[in-house]
Amino acid sequence: MEGNESLKPELASEAVDAIEKVVGTYPGYRRAHARGYVYKGVFTPNGKASPLTVAAHLQDEAVPAVIRFSNSSPVPTHPDADSPVKGMAVKFRLPGGEETDLIAVTIPLFFAKTPEAFVEIAHFIKSAKDGFPNLKELGGILLKYPESKAGLQMLKEMRSPASFATCQYYSIHAFYLMNAEGRRQAIKYEWVPDSGLSMLEKKEAAEHPADYLKEEMEERLKQGPVGFKLNIQIGGENDPADDPTIAWSEGTQVITVGHLMITDKVDTTADHLLFDPTNTPEGIECSNDPILHFRHRAYAVSYERRTHGQ
């Protein structure tokens, strides 16, 4: 079965409804990663992915790119420091007018293995927000979804970055690269910052202005472009390609396949861009990860609402 075809179609709306129930509705904004800033840049591949894929942007010609950095919170006014997981969504503009998206976050694991688990955990978060977290209920959730423990624990320990440019971003999901002979290789992506990693202590982060990351990027770009290496992690025999709650083994081979240079800010308040993690070009296929395919539907629901005044 490809992805999650057996899921009931309403589950994507239910997931977005669940997010709205937890935080409220902010018309015009994305239902997750609501506050973000858009930039433009150029991605230059180094040819090292060519034996693995025919994807146009991973050969030897540079392509323009649009980049959106975001806070993960669904609340657009949420202070940057209170929403430690950050997003980096990249749209590569391929020759011939095609586009492909690569969406990554600063955490390597997701807390839900299935869309049903996501919806149930979102409802639990709502009950925890209304009062004290019900520990018995949390225990019940972890018993039912033991695979969620690692991702939830990691979320708890996340710290805010000094800059969007000082984080490593992970695709979490696996994809298959397809080469000219039709050979398929499971990979995951990582963006590694040229500036190195830098996180803030909790107290230090709390003293920063609510939108310090926006200002920081503005200042940084005045000094010159912001760069990231694009790495691919090569999945081994025991690395599951369909489970976003499991990190791949430590020893997996990592290959740098290109470099992104972010050059300018794009002025947009309410942007109508849609980054879809399943939007892949010839030479790249989605894995069967049910969360990956579910995101395609949930993002369409959020896009439809936010671009129609809701």
Phi-psi domain of 220 (left: phi exceeds 0; alpha: psi -120 through 50; beta: other): alpha
From 36, 45, 151, 161, residue interacting with ligand HEM (rule: CB under 6 A): 36
Kindly state the number of chain residues that form the binding site for ligand HEM, as judged by CB under 6 A: 30
Toward ligand HEM, which CB reaches closer, 84 or 87? 87
**Residue 275 corresponds to which tokens in the numbers above?**
């980054």
Closest distance to ligand HEM from the beta carbon of 143 (Å)? 20
Choose which of 16, 90, 217, 230 interacts with ligand HEM (CB under 6 A). 16
Binder to ligand HEM among 41, 87, 193, 235 (CB under 6 A)? 87
Q: Which residue is nearest to ligand HEM (CB)?
A: 87
CB 127 within 8 A of CB 137: yes
Q: Does 245 bind ligand HEM (CB under 6 A)?
A: no
Inter-helix orientation angle 135-144/115-130, to 10°: 170
Toward ligand HEM, which CB reaches closer, 57 or 113? 113
Q: Which residue has the tokens 């990592």?
A: 254
Q: Is 299 annotated as a binding residue?
A: yes
Residues of span 148-187 touching ligand HEM by CB under 6 A: 172
Helix (H, G, I), strand (E, B) or coil at 97: coil
Q: Which stretch binds ligand HEM (CB under 6 A): 57-65, 75-83, 102-110, 220-228?
A: 102-110
Residue 289, both tokens: 């990860």
Q: How far is the CB of 167 from ligand HEM (least distance, A)?
A: 12
Please give the structure tokens belonging to residue 292: 């990956």
Using rule CB under 6 A, residue 55 touches ligand HEM:
no
Report the C-alpha gap between 193 and 72 in whole angstroms: 19
Q: Which of 23, 31, 37, 231 touches ligand HEM by CB under 6 A?
A: 31
Residues of the chain by 3-state class (helix, strand, coil), percent to 5: 30, 25, 45
Residue 100 · residue 92 · CB < 8 Å: yes
Q: For residue 246, state whether it binds ligand HEM (rule: CB under 6 A).
A: no
- The beta strand positions in the chain, using DSSP E, are 36-45, 63-71, 86-93, 99-105, 169-170, 175-178, 184-193, 226-234, 254-266, 284-286
123 is known as an active-site residue? no
* Options 39, 118, 191, 248; binder of ligand HEM; rule CB under 6 A: 118
- The residues, any chain, with a CB within 8 Å of residue 242's CB and separated by 6 or more, are 174, 287, 288, 289, 290
Between 54 and 163, name the residue whose CB sits nearer to ligand HEM. Answer: 163
Residue numbers of the site for ligand HEM (CB under 6 A)? 15-16, 30-33, 36, 68, 70, 87, 89, 103-105, 110, 112, 115, 118, 172, 244, 274-275, 291, 294-295, 298-299, 302-303, 306
Catalytic residues: 33
Per the annotation, binding residues for heme are: 299
